[in-house]
Structures are given as C-alpha cells and as structure tokens.
Structure 1
Amino acid sequence: MMIDLPGSDASARPGAQAALDGDDTLLGRRTRWAVELLTAPEAPRDEDLSGHFVPVFLARHPQGFAATVEQWRGLGPFTVADYQPVAHKSWVTLQGPTGVRSTLSLTLDSTGPIRVLHLGPEVVTPPVHKWDDLVAALEQPGVTWSALVTREEGGATETLYAKDADRPMPNGSSYKLYLMRALAAAVASGSVRWDDEVTVTPALRSLPTGDMQELPDGTRVTVRETAYKMIAMSDNTAADLIQDLLGRDTVERAVEEAGHADPALLRPFLTSHEVFEIGWGAPGLREEWAAADEAGRRRLLERIAGPMTVRGSDLGPTVHRLGLDWHMSAWDVARVLGLLAEDGVRDDGGDVEEILTAYPGVPVDTARWPRVVFKGGSCPGVMMFCWLLEDPDGVRCTLVLQQRADDQKLIGDGQFLRGMGGRVIASGLLSGTSR
C-alpha cells in the first residue's frame, strides 16, 4: 500500500506520469511495465508474465496471475497520480474513474525480476507540523507505541521528542543492527573478510523477507553480499548466515558493547529461524520458551536445531509477549544506530557505509540529508522503523518509531508508520523549523 509522504496530499502530483516515463533505471522500467498491465487496452496472458517475476511469486497463483491482474483492471481505467521510487521498491498511486485511489507497490528481487506486486487502497498519512500531530496520528486503542527524536551537533545530543523511549519494545528485524555491528568489528579485527563466503544449508534457511532462502543447498555467497541483503533487503536467511559465521556469543557481546540498557532481554540472541520455529512450530514450544530461564532457553534452541518445519502460512498469533522477539527501547535503537554510523566512518574500504546507506526506507531529500541509515522491523503484532540522518554539516538526527499490539490487524503492514516517519523527516522539525 501507499506511503503518502510529507508534502503530498490526496491530489495528483503534477508530472507523475512523466516521472514514471522518464525513469530509465531497472526499477523504473519494471514499474512502468507493471502499470501498463493495468492501463493497456488488452489484458495480459499468463505466458506474457512468466519472464517478469521470480518463480516463487507466480507459484503463489496456481490459477494464473493474469486472472488477478484482470480483477485489478476492473477498477480502472487508471491515471497515474503519483510515483515514488526508493532503491529496490516503488509505489505508484493510481486514480480510478470515480476518483478512488489505489497504490501499486512493487519490490524487485536482487536478481532483477519482480518479487512483490500488490494493488491495494491508498494509505494517506496526515501532515506533521508539530509533535502533537505525530501523537494524534499514532494514538489508537489497543496499540502501544514509543518514539524518540534526537539531534546531535558538536558532540552534544538534544532530545527533540521522546515518548516512552526507555520502554523495551519488540522490534522485529532491527535486531540485524547488532549483527551488523558485530560483523563490522570482526572485519576490522581481521577475523572475517568481506570476500569470505558463507554456505546456505537447510538448518540455516529461514522464511522471507529476502530471497536467500530460495538458494539451493550448498550455495556459497560472499560475506559482503550477505550483509548487504541482511540490511538493504532485511533478508532473514542472510542474517542467520551472518550469525552462524560470527557465533551467538559474539553477537551477545556486541549487544552489551552497544549499550543496550538490559542485555539479558537479548540472551540468548535468537535467529529469525528460531523465532519462527518456536513461535509457530510444534505445539508446546511457545509455552516452554516462556517458562524457561536463560539456561533452559539455550537448551531448547539446541534441541530444535535443524531444518525449519514452519511455513509462512503458519504464522498467525502474536508471540512477542512470550519474549519471542528482540526487545530494545528506542534509546537502545538510537545508540546502536549511532555506533554503526561511526563504524561506517572508520571503515576505509567503504563497505560498511555502502551497506548501511543502500536503502533509505522512504524518499529523502538528498541535498538536505545526504547520508541516511535506515532499518525497519516487523513480526505479527510488531512494527518499527528507525532512521539516522546526517546533513552536509555533519549534524545527525535520529528518529525511532515503535508499535506493538496483541492483535496484528491494529498495526497492519506498517505503511502508515513508515509514512509517518517520512512525514517527520520532511516536516522541518528535525532542524528546529516546521513547514
């Protein structure tokens, strides 16, 4: 669904079609082709689609994806009202004949074809001119949320806004920030090289997000590419491969060294594979995990080691209340983001910086913020997004938004929370002004 970002409203943006037509990147070409599926005079045939998608996407449509496209076309004819490309993702707002707007969202696979294509109702985020606007947007029954906004200049850090920023919250994939810190330290010490390789095995294969779970057993991938996918694409299998390379104890030390307020919350430091297997696997595992102390939990992890038995369709009830997630406060997130930013500065080869800044999460004014480190995270009932932004003068701002709920439906797919982050970034509040 749509990320309706700051500065936009529910009207069509001038030049949206021209912007899409003029984008000659691979993302632009793929997006243009996808839009034409919905706007061309004739509906596509399934044989016309196979070369444009990864096989796993088409496998989810055993009756053929062309039938789904035909349903989407029935909402048209469409005009392009907005186009927003960000790294390997794009969002196109399409306006139908009655004025109803939908958003076509697209994600490219790392090999080039389309991995995700979805049409859904547009999600509109309200403007943010003051912090009360953020509060009004995020306050809703059944959802617990926290936020932290800081500004660092000349060695001094100012808290611009904080709401329950010391409260430990489940964070989903933002745990990968600690893995990246541990990896950067291992490379700096010489114990790991970027050109070293990791090997995909059944015991290390996880569920999406990402695409490395689809690689054949025995596939060898460089540490550099694996780390890139772990951060830029939030690839779960990539993260588990990195953790296997480094060792659980190494990552747990990285948590302590990054200043987590209560490192015991992340011991043992779980892999994504383990969260999926305990959370939605064999009956009784969830309750056993919740009742066990740290030693008992480590024994449980040893017992379930092996190929995953859980499928994506098995995911359902929320499990974060049982400690099956990675709990960090907004301040914990801000601290590890800041340390990673320093890792990027110290890395003379530039690999750390390239990985950290590959995907900014939302469209960002690069003249205003030429350096952006971003990470998002989700799990049933959990959503978070965080940014570290640096201006041309070296002033750094950090933004952390976290949500949790017992009912996943109250949070949705995260596009609203991500859009609110974009609203804050473009509001002027980070630099002390608002527009």
Structure 2
Amino acid sequence: MAVTNTPTRLKEAFAEAGVTGRLHALDIDSGAELGTGADHPVVTASVHKLCVLITLYEQAAAGLLDLTEQVECPPDGRASGPTGLSAMLDPVRMSLRDAAYLMIAVSDNTAAELCLSRVGLDAVNATTARLGLTRTRALHTFRAMFESMREDAGPGGAQALTDPYVIARLRALDPARSNHSTARDMTRLLRALWRDEACTPEHGAAMRRVLGLQVWPHRLAAGFPFDDVHVAGKTGSLPTLRNEVGVVEYPDGGRYAVAVFTRAARTAATLPPADAVIGTTARIAVEALRAGA
C-alpha cells in the first residue's frame, strides 16, 4: 500500500513547496525503486561534478593521471562562484585530488574547471556512456555555462536573474542546451559507485569519502536528522533550480540512492521550502522502500 501512495505524496509535497519535482530512489542492494518523473530530462547544474569526479578517478585507476599531480591556479580567469578557489584572490597550487575535494565538498567551480581541463569533456561523456547512462550528457564546461548566463541576462547582469522573462531565456536552464540527465540515471550512477562498479574499490572508497564531506546540510541531509544515518551527496543550483543526488546509509546496512531535481515557480534566490522539500521527499521515498517497495 505504501508504494502505491508514495508517488502521490511526493507530488503533493513538491506542489506545497511551490516547485516542480523529479525524483528517483533506489535500494542499492535489492534494486527496488520508486519515483515520480524519474525519466524526465533535467538540468544537472553542479550535480554534473559527480560525473567529473568519477572520470578523474577512473583515469587515475587506469594510470592515465596521478591524483597527487600538482596543478597551478592563477587568479585570472577563474570561474564564477562564491566558494573555494573561485572566491580566492591569490595564486594557488594544489593536487588534483584536493581540487576534486573542493569541487564536491563546497561545489567550487574553479576547482571543477581544473579537474575537467585535466580529463576533458569527451572523457566525461565516455564515462557516463560506459556506465549505461544513456540520457546523461555534458554539453559544456562550468565556465561556459556561467558565460552563457551572463550573455543571456544582458545588461541587467545578476540582478536581472530575478526577472521571469530573463529566466525564461537562459540556455543554462534548458536541458536541451545544457548539461543534463534524469533522476533515474543519477541513482544508477550512485549505485555503480557504491557497489564499486564505477571504479576500483580503492578509488571508489576515496570518492565516497569526498561525497560524505559535502558541507551543505539544508537539502538531502535535512530529511535524515539522525546521528546513526549517514548521507553523502552532491548539490546543484542555478536560478530557480535546486537539486541534490546522494546516498542514505542506515545502521542496519540499508543503502539508498536518491536523486531529486526541482524547479521553483518563484525566482527568489532564497526559498527555504524549496530547499527543504528535497529532504522531505527523499525521506518519503526511502521510508517507502524500507517498508517494502
């Protein structure tokens, strides 16, 4: 009975929060699944950094690069962003694996560009294709995405991004013209990572550790405020878009991959209900799976 009612409960929760939501939840071990709009194309935004992370570690496992390799990051030409290297003012030198940590833990756009420039966009798409993610594709770098937003916003700049007419013309918000995936593809990716099918066990453990260090607790993790439940994931945000994909692990060994992609009707940058509904719907879905979905 819980399984039958769950999609309705999910849709009601999204509607109450003022967002359109796409969700897929997957029991990593049994394969049981449920969702709503799970195959609808969505803009991934910074969630696509997870694909970059796996590609980076996959190439390291193949001997194509060394994760301790040092990379230089001068102040000029950094990608836009409020965190990490993007917000720093001085030259930085660090290893690829430390750049990967910043890319995931604080969603540092410049760190993501460092990792992506090392592996290449084609390699990222080759990795997702290898893993069977037929509806996932990177069309541009993160720097290019923000450049397109500046172009589309026009002379009004960042302030124009609260204008619904400006929002409607942003290429970055169109799955056909931006990095995209589906909720189902993302849970499939997470399942492969947690089952050591995406990479070697050693490199898989390193990636799972980094995902567990993400600092944002206000979306997926907010739905599981328990000391003995561990949440690891990656957020993604653009105007009106709030996303997160991750894995919820219970002390009894239960492991559940969840992907939630939302788009708000309102253009305000701060919408607590739109953030909170990610955790709310994830918990509804996981509890339904644990009840026998």
Query: Which band: TM-score by shorter chain?
Result: 0.7 to 0.9
**Partner of residue 365, structure 1:** 226
Residue of structure 1 in register with 2:146 after alignment:
276
Give, in angstroms, the shift of residue 377 of structure 1: 0.8
Q: Deviations over 1:79-99 (max 9, x none)?
A: xxxxxxxxxxxxxxxxxxxxx
1:377 match: secondary structure: strand
CA distance in structure 1 between the partners assigned to 2:153 and 2:267 by the alignment: 21
Alignment of 1:431 onto 2:290? yes
Taking the TM superposition and a 5 Å limit, the aligned residue runs for 1:251-330 are 251-263=124-136, 265-266=137-138, 268=139, 270-281=140-151, 315=161, 317-318=166-167, 319=170, 320-321=173-174, 323-330=176-183
Q: Which has the larger radius of gyration?
A: 1
Q: Distance in 1 between matches of 2:203 and 2:128?
A: 24
1:138 corresponding residue in structure 2: 14
Task: List alignment gaps of at least 5 residues for structure 1.
Answer: 1-128, 285-309
Contact 1:197/1:223 (<8 A) preserved? yes
Whole-angstrom distance in 1 between the partners of 2:21 and 2:282 = 18
Report the number of matched residues. Answer: 271
- The CA distance in 2 between the partners of 1:283 and 1:390, in whole Å, is 41
Q: Secondary structure at the match of 2:22?
A: strand
Superposed CA RMSD in Å reads 3.3
Deviation at 1:321, TM superposition (A): 2.8
Tell me the CA shift for residue 379 of structure 1.
0.8
**1:95-115 per-position Cα deviation (integer Å, ceiling 9, x unaligned):** xxxxxxxxxxxxxxxxxxxxx
Q: Deviations over 1:186-226 (max 9, x none)?
A: 12122222221222246751111422023346421211221
Aligned to 1:206: 79
Q: Which protein, 1 or 2, shows the higher relative CO under an 8 Å CA cutoff with sep ≥ 6?
A: 2
User: Do the aligned partners of 2:193 and 2:204 also contact (CA within 8 Å) in 1?
Assistant: no
1:388-399 correspondence runs (5 A): 388-399=247-258
Q: 1:203 to 1:248 in 2, by over 3 A?
A: farther
TM-score for both structures, normalised by structure 2: 0.78
Where is the helix percentage greater, Structure 1 or Structure 2? 2
SS at match of 1:347: helix
* Matching residue of 1:419: 276
Partner of 2:210: 355
Distance 1:258 1:312, change over 3 A: farther
Change in 2 beyond 3 A, CA 1:322/1:403: closer
The answer to whether 1:224 aligns with 2:224 is: no
Map Cα deviations across residues 50-97 of structure 1 (whole Å, 9 max, x no partner). Answer: xxxxxxxxxxxxxxxxxxxxxxxxxxxxxxxxxxxxxxxxxxxxxxxx
What does residue 245 of structure 1 align with?
Answer: 118
Judging changes above 3 Å, is the alpha-carbon distance between structure 1 residues 311 and 401 closer, same or farther for their aligned structure 2 residues? same
Query: 1:260 aligns to what SS in structure 2?
Result: coil
Alignment partners' CA distance in 2, 1:237 and 1:176: 11
Paired residue secondary structure (2:133): coil
Q: Does 1:375 align with 2:234?
A: yes
Contact 2:75 2:88 in 1 (8 A): no
Shift of 1:391: 2.8
| Superposition deviation, residue 260 in structure 1 | 2.1
Q: Which amino acid aligns with 2:21?
A: W
- Tell me, what secondary structure is at the counterpart of 2:213? coil
Pairing partner for 1:337 from 170, 178, 190: 190
Alpha-carbon shift at residue 184 of structure 1 (Å): 1.3
Is 1:147 the counterpart of 2:38? The answer is: no
Distance 2:76 2:193 in 1: 29
Segments of 5+ residues of structure 2 without an aligned counterpart are none
Q: TM-score, normalised by structure 1?
A: 0.55
